[in-house]
Amino acid sequence: MPVVVLGLGSNKSLCIKNKVLSSDNILNKACSELKKHIKELRCSSIYITKPLYMEEQSDFFNMVVLGDYSGSPRELLNLIHIIEAKYGRDRSLETFKGPRTLDIDIELFGDITVNDNSLSNPLFIPHPLMSERQFVLIPLLEILNNSAESIIDKQKYAQMLSKLQDQGVRLWKSSRKH
């Protein structure tokens, strides 16, 4: 069963049944949803990150999860879209790289490479921007450093991180079991 790495982000609260969910609550709830489908799910701490691509928006809350997934990359992408929609994401109404209640990216899917540029639902694995994002690499290395397994090349991702300038990533909440 391949080990998958997902990056999660949120910078927009959500009102469900007269209850406001903050970005960090949305991430925690998304982890609970993912745990139903990904075995041995490990969750990083939550980090606050300055927006990279469209700076005129609120800071993001980001984290990474890692675990074993038995389906295909396309099945995982479909699952992610269902979870994102459950927590308020409507891609048809949002600004590209703008504010969103929940964004889940497939960063890695075992050693599989996917380059599918289909217009309706593109999929690229490994995520093409992973190497330039501290908000992915810092939490990924946190999880890997807490793992006795050597499933992912820690050194490779540490080297990627060392080449990046500071992007304003700071710890928000330490990890807990989901």
Which of the following is catalytic: 42, 90, 105, 133? 105
170 tagged catalytic: no
Quick one: which of 69, 167, 170 has its CA closest to 125?
Answer: 69
Which of the following is catalytic: 59, 74, 100, 176? 100
42 tagged catalytic: no
C-alpha span between 54 and 3 (Å, rounded) = 31
C-alpha span between 11 and 33 (Å, rounded) = 19
Which of the following is catalytic: 89, 91, 111, 166? 89
89 tagged catalytic: yes
Which of the following is catalytic: 59, 103, 111, 166? 103
C-alpha span between 144 and 120 (Å, rounded) = 34
> Contact 55/43 with Cβ under 8 angstroms?
no
74 tagged catalytic: no
Residues acting as catalytic residues: 89, 100, 103, 105
